[in-house]
A and B are shown apart, each in its own frame.
Chain A
Amino acid sequence: MNLAPSLIIALVIAAFLAAVALFVIVIYNGLVRKRIDCDNAWAQIDVQLKRRYDLIPNLVETVKGYAAHERETLEAVIQARTRAVAVASDAQHAAQKAEAEGFLTQALGRLFALSEAYPQLKADKNFGALQEELTSTENKIGFARQHYNDTVARYETSRQTFPSSVVAGAFNFQKREYFELKDAAVREAPKVAF
């Protein structure tokens, strides 16, 4: 069988193009999967942030029952909450959201520090349950943030390393921001030296 040289060349080119297309499809799907992971991880943070907003009015009411005259601290918590709620909750506003949440965490910290001075408040069963829920929600926000940042790191690594960076550029995969708390006291955490 004698094939014309031009036909052979055409076949080789076609095979090459097919291989490139397959390569691009695999990388593209990988990037999309990682981007969806980022969105899911962000949703996890969002659920916990909302849960904290829901718990705070309850907490403020309970504390008011025992320490109504600590208006300043209570109002600071309410204000911080209102401000945090106002910031749009999507991955694009991660940095601003993080800042507002940092303030809220600080205000709550002051409120719980204050409760130490009121033995009756500390003995209140409802307050105890709220404190456990808020402590846990705080932890959950922290762990969700840790998971989100790990996920973003994986996405950003694929987005910025060759050859997937070419595909990411061609299909306009946007940069995702890390969720970093601005407040130093909250941030002090994961500096474990491995």
Chain B
Amino acid sequence: MIPPRKQTPRPLSAAEAIARAAASHPSRPAAPVIPEAARLAASAYPSSITYLDLIRRNKRESALLVAAMIALGVLLGALIGGALGPYVQGINETRRGFQALYTVPAGGAADEMLEHYATTLDDNRERVDSAPLRVLGADTGVYRDLAVLLPSILTGAGVALVASSLAAAWAWFSGSSAILAMSGAIPISHSDDPQLFNVVDEMRIAAGLPMPRVYIINDSALNAFATGRDPEHAAIAVTRGLRERLTRDQLQAVVAHEMAHIRHYDIRFAMLMATMVGLIVFACDAFLRIAFRGGAVHGHGRSRRRDRAPVGGFAIILLVLALVLSIIAPLLARIIQFAYSRQREYLADAGAVELTRNPQALADALAVIADDPDPMVDTANRGTAHLFIVNPLRKMARAHQSLDTIFSSHPPIQKRIARLLALMR
């Protein structure tokens, strides 16, 4: 008989359902049992909570996180700009000094750029020292420094904005194919795996979306991810292990989770976020290298300055701030990214329930995935880990299932199961 779409109206205990599923698939290893702690955690949620509430709340907080990320990037750019400004000027003055001494012929595009930059700073200093600003007290102390450094700060912030937009544009057009290629995902068609294809088709119909491309990753771990810039350019990839070890209902639940990522445009946010984090890490690293090797810290450039000091104490404060921030920023960026990623996972779990109306199947699927003895996906890395349904990098599977730290890219599986069970009451 055609099994009608499995939607359990009676809230079965998860352990019961998993035991039943295991009985019908004797080849699979013993099914995990959801611990008592998870069931207790489930009772902590108010029973009136709906998936719509979860979606609304998660979306709002996610938007805040993205704004914070952009602000952090621009702040970092401004500080780096401010800190490197005098250094660049230092080089320039050295260069001009050499030119004067040895009459080095000037010319070339780079030379003109440096010349222009130095002129701008000089002009600016003169403007600051001129009458109107003197009246305002801008010629003394930090105000003068700030005014002198303002162009550098603005340049830094501007460069940061432009760089992050360029990176976002790259992610927009070729991010998903890069991610799929990196993960070794192979595209399949309906005839390769009719059931998997049908399950994806069912879920995209439930979401009212176009059919995404379907990929298989040849790995025995149980995992899956979705990527793309919008539902029209989306792809879903599942591992061979997941395909082999889940029942049809459980597979459907996992695909529904990925479809929810697509539907909520999480895939776009995740891609942009990953690019931005990568950029911040790169910028900070580059700055630290320049600062320590190039001499901004040891004062190579500054010591060869001629008579007029371009900036005073403020520049040093700025330099120290920039150094501290460029050590902290990559860490902070990752923490923000992970917080955002954890929320997206809860959101997608809720979205999956909206599509299948069957929280039990997803809870079961997560329980089976949590029991995977070899959960590491070989082709996953720190850049792509947050895309997967469960963290593909966790080395100590057991510990990470119940641990919830600011450095986790995913919420602990037991907590996710608890929230799903809360939806069923």
* A residues adjacent to B (C-beta < 8 A): 37, 40-41, 44, 48, 105, 108-110, 112-113, 116, 129, 131-136, 138-140, 142-144, 146-147, 151, 185-186, 188-194
Contacts and interface: CB of A to CB of B under 8 A. Distances in A.
B4 A185 contact: yes
A136 B248 CA distance: 10
Interface string B1-19: 1111101010100000000
Contacts of B195: 132, 136
Interface residues of B, number: 30
Secondary structure class of chain A's binding surface, majority of residues: helix
B1 A109 contact: yes
Contact of A139 (B11, B49, B202): B202
B425 A140 contact: no
A159 B384 CA distance: 44
B247 to A, nearest CB: 13
B49 A116 contact: no
A147 B207 contact: yes
Contacts of A134: 2
B314 interface: no
B9 to A, nearest CB: 5
12 contacts: A48-B205, A105-B2, A109-B2, A131-B2, A132-B195, A138-B4, A143-B206, A146-B357, A147-B206, A189-B9, A192-B359, A192-B423
Interface of B: 1-5, 7, 9, 11, 49-51, 194-195, 198-199, 201-203, 205-208, 353, 355, 357-359, 423-425
Scoring A129, A142, A151, A188 by chain B CB atoms within 10 A of each residue's CB, the highest score goes to: A142
Nearest to A150: B208
Contacts of B206: 143-144, 146-147
A73 to B, nearest CB: 12
Contact of B201 (A40, A136, A185): A136
Scoring B1, B357, B358, B423 by chain A CB atoms within 10 A of each residue's CB, the highest score goes to: B1
Contact of B1 (A112, A133, A147, A194): A112
A116 B1 contact: yes
A189 B357 contact: yes
B198 A136 contact: yes
Given A146-B357, A194-B49, A194-B51, A138 B5 contact: yes
A138 B194 contact: no
A139 B353 CA distance: 15
Contacts of B4: 138, 185-186, 188-189
Contacts of B51: 194
A6 B358 CA distance: 66
B207 A135 contact: no
A66 to B, nearest CB: 17
A136 B202 contact: yes
B1 A151 contact: no
A106 B423 CA distance: 31
Contacts of A188: 4, 9
